[in-house]
Structure 1
Amino acid sequence: MTLSAAPRISCEVLETRADVARIFNIQRYSLNDGRGIRTVVFFKGCPHRCPWCANPESLSPHIHTVRRESKCLHCAPCLRDANECPSGAFENIGRDVTLDALVQEVMKDDVFFRASGGGVTLSGGEVLMQAPFAARFLARLRQLGVHTAMETAGDAPLSRLLPVANQCDEVLFDLKIMDARQAKLVLNLNLPRVLANFRHLAASGICVIPRIPLIPGYTLSQENLQRVLAFLQPTGVTVLHLLPFHAYGEPKYRLLGRDWAMKGIPAPSADEVGALRQRAEQAGFQVTVGG
């Protein structure tokens, strides 16, 4: 597989007010984004360009419109307006939501949080692109007794990461390509900053859970895993989530009119995942596949 350079996008490209966020989805009844039954809020915008991204609609910070051919009535003339389309064929990806409205929306699921020990997880995209809002939103949820978590690559100034992490009961922290040059070239990711941020969170007593996406051609190797394990051992973190590659996001690329870089790449076999799990367990880690 040829490694190509990722487009450069700043983490500061989407600056909203602290009381308004741009999101593109709210997913209820999730079991894989923290403990218990979760409601996951997906934030729009990401500075990275992971070839395997399962949420390509999250990458742009802008609201944009897509057309679903299966719903289209081929009206003449076509207004190409998601708000006016009679069949719903035109759909806006992304919307702006106020802090109060989003709190009200997720608290509809409070009964499930309390029954299962679950809560709300912030995902994306990259949550840290909208850090001021995320910190305020999580603080409000904690005041209401809701368990909070976020998923992040951790690639932002510590001054942006820490206020959000301090409002999380769990930080689900992705560790991807562990070679700094390749991480920058392929993902547009500042690996030294990511690792420094992880160390800081772990040393601060924040519950940080490292996760490795197992991606053929990129991270699905004993070498990359060994680099992760060697990094984690001095931090005192002993849990590890392995996230095998899947192609569930491929239809989204077609909808967006984009090429899927991982087309035709099979998911890791049970034997491949099992070998990595065994290696991590032998090193003393408590391993979960999925997460």
Structure 2
Amino acid sequence: MSCDVQEQVEQSQHTARIFNIQRYSLHDGSGIRTVVFFKGCPLSCPWCANPESRSHQTTYMRRMAKCLECEECEMDVDECPSGAWELVGTDMTLDEVLAQVAKDDVFFDTSQGGITLSGGEVLNQPHFAIELLTRLKQLGYRTAVETSGHGSTTQLLRIGQLCEEVLFDFKIMDKERAKQVVGLNLDKVLENFTRLVGQGVHVVPRLPLIPGYTLDLLNIDRVIRFLKPFDVEEIHLLPFHQYGANKYQTLGMEYLMKDVAVPTQSEVEAIRSHVEAHGYRVVIGG
């Protein structure tokens, strides 16, 4: 290994590129959570609500609601008089992340909540995630991760052992379509789920309900058939929403789902009833 590559590897184990730390979250694990969002994702889901998370590189967002439409735009975060230009992605050390999450200790103690690592995809920066989870456990925090399962089995198993729960997303269950639409290796994902459960990790399956992609009984039944051999009691349903739609414009990206209607309550309830009929406890929204 060259000196440059070795230096990059060592640096990646002590810093991570984070694009948000969200407080008082109620949908990313049990209790009140603080969610640390890792930047970078290998997938390209058309419905992604955090498009700023896709690239590992720092990116810029231009919030038009704040823009003064200056005659000559410097397109610079420091020079922007209204704060319309925003840098997305900050390199943070382990101690910096720990200092941020420690501010919410009172909420964790009163709600049995904790820290959730999300993204992007945590498996894109696994060494830092493992270091962070290790320190959090040493300090007595309850921990969780959200993942697509698309990544290193070895690293995912290490991460799983450091968590009270792993929130595991199932997306398109057709192997060829999953690869074509989002770039997902379905065989790898299913293997990773199997290995996690096999080592005793508490894994919570989550099903995004995306019109045209996953919001159909065929796809849902494929998930249910896969889960049947496992000791799984609870499934989370995540209905499609448009909350992240405006982010695409601020990033200069095309949003392919802009004209797609969100699922109706009756559609979501029908899916809930269908999943419950197979013996699972269903949570809407995670």
Q: Normalised by the shorter chain, which TM-score bucket?
A: over 0.9
Within the candidate set 53, 66, 80, 2:75 is matched to 80
Is 1:33 paired with 2:8?
no
Q: Deviations over 1:150-206 (max 9, x none)?
A: 100001121121121111111000001001111000010000010011011111110
Distance 2:215 2:64 in 1: 36
Whether contact under 8 Å (1:40, 1:121) holds in the other structure is yes
Q: Is the 8 A contact 1:67 1:89 kept in 2?
A: yes
Name 2:122's counterpart in structure 1: 127
Is structure 2 residue 168 aligned with structure 1 residue 185? no
Pair 1:194-2:195 in alignment: no
Contact 1:244 1:268 in 2 (8 A): yes
In the alignment, structure 1 residue 149 sits paired with structure 2 residue 160: no
Distance in structure 1 (CA, Å) of the matches to 2:149 and 2:28? 16
How many residue pairs match? The answer is: 278
Instruction: Name segments (4+ residues, structure 1) moved above 6 Å.
Output: none
- Residues 222, 73 of structure 1: alpha-carbon distance in 2 compared, 3 angstrom cutoff: closer
Task: Give, in whole Å, the separation in 2 of the partners of 1:279 and 1:105.
Answer: 41
Determine if the alignment matches structure 1 residue 97 to structure 2 residue 99. Answer: no
Q: Deviations over 1:210-231 (max 9, x none)?
A: 0000000000011111100000
- Segments of 5+ residues of structure 2 without an aligned counterpart are 1-7
Distance 2:84 2:247 in 1: 15
> Partners in 1 of 2:110 and 2:45 — Cα distance?
36
**SS at 1:71's partner residue?**
coil
Amino acid of the residue matched to residue 94 of structure 2?
L
Q: Which amino acid aligns with 1:172?
A: L
The gaps in structure 1 that reach 5 residues or longer are: 1-13
Kindly provide the CA deviation profile for residues 97-136 of structure 1, in whole angstroms up to 9, marking residues without a partner as x. Answer: 0001100111110111011000111111001000000011
Residue 258 of structure 2 aligns with which residue?
Answer: 263
1:235 maps onto 2:230 in alignment: yes
Residue 211 (structure 1) aligned to one of 197, 202, 206 = 206
2:13 aligned with 1:18: yes
Per the TM alignment, residue 77 of structure 1 is displaced from its structure 2 partner at its CA by 5.3
Alpha-carbon shift at residue 83 of structure 1 (Å): 2.5
Please, what TM-score do these two structures have when normalized by structure 2?
A: 0.93
Q: Of 85, 108, 111, which aligns to 1:116?
A: 111
Give 1:252 shift. Answer: 0.4
Aligned position for 1:11: none
CA contact (8 A) 2:52 2:59 kept: no
Equivalent in the alignment of 2:48: 53
- 2:130 aligned counterpart, secondary structure: helix
Aligned partners of 1:273 and 1:23: how far apart in 2? 33
* Counterpart contact for 1:202–1:237, Cα < 8 Å: no
Code of the aligned partner of 2:224:
L
Aligned residue type for 1:197: N
Distance 1:79 1:51 in 2: 31
Match of 1:10 in 2: none
Asked if 1:272 is matched to 2:260, the reply is no
8 Å Cα contact 2:62/2:250 also seen in 1: yes
Give the counterpart of 2:239 among 237, 241, 244: 244
AA aligned opposite 1:103: L
**Secondary structure of residue in 1 paired with 2:125:** helix
Task: Determine if the alignment matches structure 1 residue 66 to structure 2 residue 64.
Answer: no
RMSD of aligned Cα (Å) = 1.5
Give how far 1:84 is off.
3.3
Distance, in Å, in 2 between the alignment partners of 1:69 and 1:228 is: 40
Q: Please give the TM-score of this superposition, normalised by the length of structure 1.
A: 0.92
- Answer with 14-23 or 268-277: which moved more: 14-23
How far is the alpha carbon of 1:289 from its aligned partner?
A: 1.1
State the alpha-carbon separation in 2 of the partners of residues 65 and 184 from structure 1. 29
Match of residue 285, structure 1, among 277, 280, 283:
280
* Residue type at the aligned position of 2:112: G
Identical aligned residues as a percent: 55
**Cα separation, 1, equivalents of 2:24 and 2:178:** 33
Counterpart position of 2:37? 42
